[in-house]
Structure 1
Amino acid sequence: MTATTAPADVERPAHRDPDVLRWLGAYTASTTGDMVYHLALAWAAVHGGTPAQAGLVLALSAVMRALLMLGGGVVADRFGPRRIVISSDAVRCAVVLGLAALLALTSPGLWVLAVVALVFGAVDALFLPAVGALPPRIAAPAQLARVQGMRGLAYRISVLTGAPLGGLAVALGGPAAAFGAAGLLFAFSLPLLLTLRLKPLPTDGTAREGTTALRDLTDGLRYLRRHRVLGPLMIVVALSDLGFVGPLNVGLALLSDARGWGAAGIGWVLAGFGAGAGSASLVLTVRGRVPRAGAVLSWTIALGAVSIAALAYVPRLPVAVAVSVSIGLLAGLSGALCGALTQTESDPAYLGRVTSVSTFFSLGVAPLSFPLTGAAVGLWGPGPVFTASAAVCALGGVYGLLTPALRRAELPR
C-alpha cells in the first residue's frame, strides 16, 4: 500500500489541518469501537461461563498485547505506521463483525471468545505503536503538542460515549448487537485513514533488507539507551505509570469501600479525574506549545504524586473529587507532553519502536501492580499503599528533574 504524500505548503494549525482532523476522526471511532468491544466481550464472557473463566478470557487480550508489543514497534518501523494502522483496523472490523454474526446465528462456546480475545490482543500490539507513530507524518513538529492535546480530548470522548453505547447495544440486541456496533465503528475509521496525506519521512513503507526482526528490536533498544532525552524519558514513564495505575484502578475501589462512598463514589472520583484530564488536553489543544516541556513534564508528575497520596487521606467525597480533578489535570498534561517529546525527539526510523517501549510500560508492566496493590491495601489499608505508590510516581518526576538533558528538553516552535 503506497501512502499519499502531502505537498509542501504553509504550516497550518493542527485543528485546521484536514489530515489531522481525518486522523483524529479515525482515532476517535476506533477507540470508541474498542470501548464497545471490551464491554461486549466482558458481558458475553460473564454470561457464557464461570467467573474464573470470564476473567481468563478478559486477561488473554492483555497478556497477548504485552507479549507482542515490542515486536509491534518493529513492524511499524519496517512497513510504515499507516499501513499497519489500516491493516489492524481492517482485521479488527472483520473479526468483530464475524463474531457478531456468529452470535446472532448460534451460541458458540466460550473458546470462541477466547480466540477472539487472543487475536484482538495481537492486533492491539501492532495498532498501538503504529497509531502513536503517525502524528509526525501528518503534522509539523511545532504542532505535535497540540495534536497530543486533541488526541487526549478524543480519548475522553471515547470513554464517555463508548460505555453507554455498548450498554445500550447490549440492552437492545445482546452481545451480538454490541459487537456489531464495535465493528461498524472500526469500519468507519478505514476510509478516513485511507485518505490521509503523509509527509515524506524515512522508512515509510520500506522494509530493512538483510536484518532480522530481533536485530531491529535490539537496535531500537540500543538507540533508546544511548539517547540523552528518550532514554531517561522512558524511565520516567515507567516509574510514573507504575506508581499511578494501581491506586487509580484497584486502589480507588477499595478506598471508596473503606470510606463508605460506594459505587457512586467511584464514579464521581473517576468523573473528576476525567474532567481534569480533559481540561488539560483542551488547554494544550488551544495553546499548542508549552515552554520548557521537559521541566514541566517532570514537575507535573511530581506534583501529581502528591495529589495521589492526598487522595487516600481525605475523609469526604467532595474533597476527593476535587483532588481527583487535580490528578487528572497534572496527569493529562504530563501524558500529552510525554507523547509530544517522544515524537519530536525520536528519529523517524525508530519512532514505532520507541512508542512501543513507552506503551509496553503503560499497558504491559504497570497493570501487573493491580494484584499487589489490592493485597497491600487489604493488609495495611489505603493510606500507606497510596503513599508508597505516590513515592514511586514522584521518583519518576524527580529523576526527570535531575537529568539535565530531559529537564532542558523543548518542543519545536
Structure 2
Amino acid sequence: MSGLTVMLGFSMFFLSVLWFIVDVLEQPAVLGIVLMAVSIPRVAMMIYGGVLADKIRKSFIMFTTNFLQVLVMAAMIVLFVNDWLQISSLIVIALVFGFLDAFFFPAVSSMIPIIVRDEELQRANSLFQGSTELMFIIGPLIAGFLLTIGDFTLTFSAAGLFILVSAVLVFPPFIKDPEPDKRPEGSTAVTDLKEGLAYVWNSSLHRSGTFTIVIINLFMIGPLIVSFPILVSALGGTPFELSLLEGGLAAGTFLASVALIAWNVRNRRGRLVLYALLASFILFFVFSQVETMPFLVLLTAFSGFAAMFVYLPTVTMVQEKTDKAKLGRVMSIITLAASGFEPVAFGLISLLVAAQLPIQTILSVTAVTGLLLGVLLVWKSPDFRKMD
C-alpha cells in the first residue's frame, strides 16, 4: 500500500510539474533539464543508498525519505501560491526528489525479501511492480482531472497527501522490520561499496542478472520510450496516438506483472529470462519496421510484456540468492542497472536523431545490437540458464 500511494503521488507530481512548465511558464525547452535534474542525483547516489540500507532499518529510510518529500511538496505549494515558482526552483526541487529516490528504492527492494517468504517472493515482486505500473496510468488521469476542476495548488496538495499516506504506512513501528546486523569496526561506506560490487561480480547469477537488466534497458526500454514522440511526429500522428503508445507499454508491463502473480514460476527461471530477453528484441525489431499505429501499439504492449518476464524473475532470483546482510547494496546495483541506463539511451537516441538519421533505422540498429548481445549472454552464461 505504501508503494502504491507513493507512486500515485510521484506520477501526479511529475505530470503537474511538466504541465506547469509548458502551460504556465511556457518554456518547453527546459523539460529535458528538469528530467535530468531528477535522474542525475538518483543515478549518482543509488549505490550509496544501498550501502545505507544495509546499515539502517529499511522502514526508517523509507519513512524519512517520504516525509522529507512531503516537506518539499509543501514548500513548492508555498512558492506557487506566492508566484515564486520558477524554473530555477523547479530544478532544485527535482534534484531533491531524485536524491531522495536514490535512498527509497534500494530500501524497499531489499526489504521485500526480508518480510516475505522465498516461495512467495515472485508474487510479492510482481504485485509491487504491477501496482507501480498501474499508478503511472491512474496518477496522470487524476492529475489531469484535478487540473481541470482546480489549479496547481490542488494537484500539488493531492500528490503531497498521497506521499504522506505512504510515509505513515511505513512508519517503523507498523512494519517492524528487523534492525540490520552491526557492521565490523572500521567499516566505511567505501569498503562496504567495494564489498557489494565484488559480491555481485564474483557470483555468476548476480553478474549475468545485472548484464541482462542493463541490456534490456539500454537497448530496448530506453530507446522505446524516447522514440514514442519522435515516431508519432515522423508518422504525422496526434497527441492521442502518443498516449496510446505510452498506455500500450504500461498495459503490457502491468499484464505481465499480473501473469507472474498468477503463475508463480519456480522452475527454469534462468532459461525463461534469457528466452524472454531474445523475444523482447525480436518484437522490438518488428516494431522498428512497422508504420501503422494500431500495430505499433500492439507491438509496444507485447514488448513491455516480454520485458517484464526478463526483469521480475531476475530480480526475484537475485533476492533469493543474496546474503541478507548485503541485500541493500546488491539491490541498489540492480536498480541502477534498471534505471541508470535509460538516460544514456535517451541521450544516444537524441544525438542520432539530431544527426538526421531516421528513427526507424536507429531503432532497428539498437534492436539488432540488443539481440546479438542477448545471444552472447545466452552463450556465455550456462550457469544462469540452469537457475531455478
Q: TM-score, normalised by structure 1?
A: 0.87
| Closer/same/farther in 2, CA of residues 44 and 267 from structure 1, 3 Å limit | closer
Say which of 225, 230, 248 aligns to 2:206. 230
In structure 1, how many angstroms separate the alpha carbons of the residues matched to 2:155 and 2:348?
Answer: 33
Percent of aligned positions that are identical? 25
In structure 2, how many angstroms separate the alpha carbons of the residues matched to 1:361 and 1:294?
Answer: 18
Are 1:79 and 1:205, in contact at CA under 8 Å, matched by a contact in 2?
no
Partner of 1:6: none
Partner of 1:385: 362
Report the AA paired with residue 352 of structure 1. Answer: G
Say which of 29, 41, 61 aligns to 2:5. 29
Say which of 302, 309, 322 aligns to 1:326. 302
In structure 1, how many angstroms separate the alpha carbons of the residues matched to 2:369 and 2:184?
Answer: 39
Partner of 2:105: 128
Say which of 251, 256, 268 aligns to 1:280. 256
In structure 2, how many angstroms separate the alpha carbons of the residues matched to 1:179 and 1:147?
Answer: 30
Q: How does 1:18-57 map to 2 (within 5 A)?
A: 25-46=1-22, 47-48=24-25, 50-57=27-34
Report the AA paired with residue 313 of structure 1. Answer: Q
| Closer/same/farther in 2, CA of residues 53 and 31 from structure 1, 3 Å limit | same
In structure 2, how many angstroms separate the alpha carbons of the residues matched to 1:395 and 1:367?
Answer: 22
In structure 2, how many angstroms separate the alpha carbons of the residues matched to 1:167 and 1:409?
Answer: 45
Say which of 192, 215, 222 aligns to 1:239. 215
CA deviation string 1:27-78 (max 9, x = no partner): 0000111111112222334434744445423321211111111111111111
| Closer/same/farther in 2, CA of residues 63 and 251 from structure 1, 3 Å limit | same
| Closer/same/farther in 2, CA of residues 30 and 288 from structure 1, 3 Å limit | same
Instruction: Give the C-alpha shift of residue 343 in structure 1.
Output: 1.0
Report the AA paired with residue 393 of structure 1. Answer: G
Partner of 1:17: none
Count of residues in correspondence between the two structures: 383
DSSP-derived class of the 1:311 partner: helix
Partner of 2:320: 344
In structure 2, how many angstroms separate the alpha carbons of the residues matched to 1:263 and 1:108?
Answer: 27
Q: Structure 1 stretch 300-309 or stretch 239-248: which is displaced more?
A: 239-248
In structure 1, how many angstroms separate the alpha carbons of the residues matched to 2:26 and 2:186?
Answer: 48
Say which of 92, 95, 112 aligns to 1:118. 95
Report the AA paired with residue 385 of structure 2. Answer: R
Say which of 46, 50, 57 aligns to 1:69. 46
Instruction: Give the C-alpha shift of residue 188 in structure 1.
Output: 0.9
Partner of 1:196: 175
Are 1:242 and 1:392, in contact at CA under 8 Å, matched by a contact in 2?
no
Say which of 110, 128, 139 aligns to 1:162. 139
Q: TM-score, normalised by structure 2?
A: 0.92
In structure 2, how many angstroms separate the alpha carbons of the residues matched to 1:151 and 1:386?
Answer: 30
In structure 1, how many angstroms separate the alpha carbons of the residues matched to 2:301 and 2:286?
Answer: 12
Q: Structure 1 stretch 354-363 or stretch 369-378: which is displaced more?
A: 369-378
Report the AA paired with residue 71 of structure 1. Answer: Y
Instruction: Give the C-alpha shift of residue 163 in structure 1.
Output: 0.6
CA deviation string 1:83-129 (max 9, x = no partner): 21111111111211232233224434433222221211110111111
Report the AA paired with residue 333 of structure 2. Answer: V
| Closer/same/farther in 2, CA of residues 191 and 114 from structure 1, 3 Å limit | same
Partner of 1:409: 387
Are 2:226 and 2:346, in contact at CA under 8 Å, matched by a contact in 1?
yes
